Every structure is written in C-alpha cells, then in structure tokens.
Amino acid sequence: MSRKHRRPGRHFLQIPGPTPVPERILAAMSRQILDHRGLEFGELGRRVLSGIKGLFKTQGHVIIYPASGSGAWEAGLSNTLSPGDKVLMCETGQFAVLWEAMARRLGLETDVVPTDWRIGADANAIEKKLRADTEKKIKAVCVVHNETSTGCLTRLDEVRKAIDAAGHPALLMADAISSLAAADVRHDEWGIDVTVAGSQKGMMLPPGLSFTAISAKAIEATKTAQLKKSYFAWDDMLSMNATGYFPYTPATGLLYGLAEAIDMINEEGLENVFARHRRLAEATRRAVQAWGFETQCRDAKYYSPAVTTVQMPEGHNADAYRKIVLDNFNMSLGTGLNKIAGKAFRIGHLGDTNELTVLGALTGVEMGFELAGVPHKKGGVAAAMSYIAETANPAQAAEQAAAAAA
Ligand code: PLP
C-alpha cells in the first residue's frame, strides 16, 4: 500500500500558465449555481462582458467562450475566412506552429514567415510579403503577441504599421493568450481585428475561458466567411450577449471568478499590472545573466514581461534539471517545447506574482543548478534582489499598503 507524503507549504507553480489563482478569485467562484436565464445572471453577464473590454482597450465586442485559448483561435479563423483563403502566419515559436497547423487543418492555405525562435515576429518581413501580394490573396496576418514557448513579445504596433505601409487589406489576428493582463494589448489603437486570450495566464483564473475581441472589420468578414462553424459562430453570441446572456449554458462559476479578476486588475491599475510584470521579468533576466546563461530571446526589444525561457548549457538536459527542482523544492518550471525541448526551460512570472514569489522561484532555480551539477556562476538571486531593491518605491508602497488596509 502506498503512503502519501505531504509536501508542506505551497507548490510553486512557475510555469507560464496556468498560473496560481488568488484566494479572492477562488472565493468568488465558490458559489451555488445560478439560473443562467435569470435576472441575476444577466447582471453578471453584462458586468463581465463590459469589464473585459477595458483589458483589451477596446470599445468593441469581446466574446467569451467556455473553451481554452485554442477554441478562440479556431473561432477567429472560422468566422472570418473561407476554405482555400491564404493566411500569413509568423512562426515565432511553438504556439505559432500550432496555430498554423490548425489553420491548415481547417482548410486554409498558409504562408509562413519564419524566425529563429529568438525574436518576435519580423514586421519588415511581413511588410515585404504583403507588398509582394499584389493580387491581395492574403486574407489575414496571424501573429502570436507573447510567444509563451520562447519568451519573445512581438511588437504588434509595428506589425500594424507594416500592414498599413503595404496598403494591404488583410485582417490582423493576434494571439494575446499569454499577454492579456501581463503586457499592453491595444486592440483598437493597433487596429487588430481579432485578439484572442485565455483565462489561465495573466487573468489569474483557472483554465476554461477564452476571450476574443473583434473589430467591426472582422464582423463584416463574417458575412462572407465560408469555413464551417456552429458552436463557435459569433453571430448567435453577439445577439445574445447584447442583453448579457449566452446562446448556451455559460461557465457560470468561472464568470464569477472573471468578474473578481477584472475588479482586482482595475484596483491595482492596468498600467501598474504591466509595470509589475516588466519589473519582475527584468529581475529574472538579471538572474539569468548573472548565472552566465542566455535567454532564448536574444534581442531586448522583444523581451517578454510574462515568461523567461532560459537556455541550458550544452550537455545538460533541461527536463532532467526541472525534475530535480520539482523533487527537491516543490516547484514546477515550464518545459522547453518542440525544437527547444530538453534544451531550455521556462520561468513563468505572470499573473498573481510579486517580488518574493519571483525571488523564491529564482532561489529554487539557482539551488537546482547546484544539485543538478549544472555549471553556473553564483549570484543570480543576488542580482535579482539588488534590482528589486533598487527599483522599489517606498512612498508608493506605503500609499498602496494604506489603501489596501482601508
Ligand atoms: N497561444 C499561446 C501563446 C499559448 O501560450 C497557449 C497556451 O499556453 C495557447 C495558444 C494555447 O492555448 P490553450 O492551451 O488555452 O488552448
């Protein structure tokens, strides 16, 4: 008979999503089920459908599916495109690879703009492709904003400019699954037509919801789109959502959590949320640099505020190392995906994180190197600590602590 062994303290879930769910959200979700056609639900529906717009910086509509981010990917493509349509996909890493494979499976023709998986999407290369497309066969440009596999953030503003400079009418679709509420997403200002996101990353919720911000141009595209869809058709959603309801049974528990998450993000201030992520990401990179390792992202312009992918030294397997960290320190780090499997690991620093959770995680990473016999320089955690202390703002911290206690 096996005996369970209790691991004291909390598990450090430092993967780049799903991320730990704050107590406030857990409590908000811990409610009895309500009638999804009743008055109370209508209020909740209107509250979340309106609140989520602020996080995308859009005045337009955001659809909420009870599906993971991949569902919103599929909905985005199938509601706006027709079989055989050409889409430009930017291969920034594994999630871009998966989105491209989905597009092909749905019957789209894909044209891939490659990268070396160490930068964000290349706006110049996109512009070139679009300029060469004189017959305007490309119907959409698909870009992963925060490539969770590599820790590279694409400059969506530059992609927008590239499309405009080429004078091309293609739709712009952005995957903000691991950037929403971690990095700035300006759906309207950047002229994005379809922005998809998920609940389980910066939003601090359990997996199970996806969000899709859609532009008027994307809605217009639905009128001619011939790809098949039924459950994921936007039209029924749009008409039911107008009064706060859904065409099918919504994930009511998760929606209670979503309402709480939106409140929490607004209480902190969206821009403060981004600044916190940038600061903790920089602390993490300073640790990586001090250990003498390279981040997968090789250009500071594309550094992700949500996740840092760390290259392992030659001859050391990243997954064997991760197991040592898990066994010894009860911490999950993200695995390397696809062509960087075994060669890199990922430190998630998004969602409900603060200075000490990140420092705790970095401590486990550094001790793990020691235990795994991975050659490294000492002082990564110390470098992160120095940066965090140097960038602390005691006056602001006192003000925020007083406001939180009031
Ligand atoms: N896109 C990105 C950037 C992701 O990080 C993920 C998941 O980690 C996905 C897409 C797939 O989303 P999901 O697993 O929620 O379906």
The pLDDT tens digits for 60-69 are: 999 999 999 9
Once rounded to an integer, what is the mean pLDDT over residues 93-115? 98
Q: How confident is the model at residue 403 (pLDDT cuts 50, 70, 90)?
A: confident
- Is any atom of ligand 1 closer than 6 Å to the C-beta of 178? yes
Domain ranges within the chain, ordered by starting residue:
12-17+269-393, 23-266
pLDDT tens column, 235-277: 999 999 999 999 999 999 999 999 999 999 999 999 999 999 9
**How confident is the model at residue 3, as a pLDDT?**
73
pLDDT tens column, 203-226: 999 999 999 999 999 999 999 999
Distance 334 CA to ligand 1 centre (A): 13
Distance 71 CA to ligand 1 centre (A): 10
Rounded Cα gap, residues 374 and 358, in angstroms:
21
The atom of ligand 1 lying closest to the CA of 148 is 5
**What are the backbone angles phi and psi of residue 65, rounded to the nearest 5°?**
-105, 145
Q: How confident is the model at residue 1 (pLDDT cuts 50, 70, 90)?
A: low
pLDDT tens column, 371-397: 999 999 999 999 999 999 999 988 888
**How confident is the model at residue 390, as a pLDDT?**
97
CATH of domain 12-17+269-393: 3.90.1150.10
Cβ–Cβ under 8 Å, residues 124 and 152: no
**How confident is the model at residue 2, as a pLDDT?**
62
H helices, E strands: number in the chain: 14, 13
- Is any atom of ligand 1 closer than 6 Å to the C-beta of 82? no
Distance 270 CA to ligand 1 centre (A): 22
* Substitution site in 91, 144, 177, 194 for ligand 1 pocket (most atoms within 8 Å of beta carbon): 177
The CATH number of 23-266, from 3.40.50.300, 3.40.640.10, 3.50.50.60, 2.60.120.480, is 3.40.640.10
pLDDT tens column, 10-42: 999 999 999 999 999 999 999 999 999 999 999
Rounded Cα gap, residues 288 and 136, in angstroms:
44
- Is any atom of ligand 1 closer than 6 Å to the C-beta of 175? yes
SS3 326: helix
Q: Which residue has the tokens 């949500």?
A: 306
Q: Which of 299, 306, 280 is nearest to 387 (CA)?
A: 280
* Dihedral in degrees, nearest 10, Cα atoms 55, 61, 64, 69: -70
Rounded Cα gap, residues 258 and 49, in angstroms:
10
CA 310 to chain centre: 18
Asked if the model's pLDDT at residue 401 lies above 90, the reply is: no
Extract the tokens encoding 81.
């495109």
Distance 406 CA to ligand 1 centre (A): 38
Q: Residue 335, exposed/middle/buried by CB under 10 A (0-12, 13-18, 19+)?
A: middle
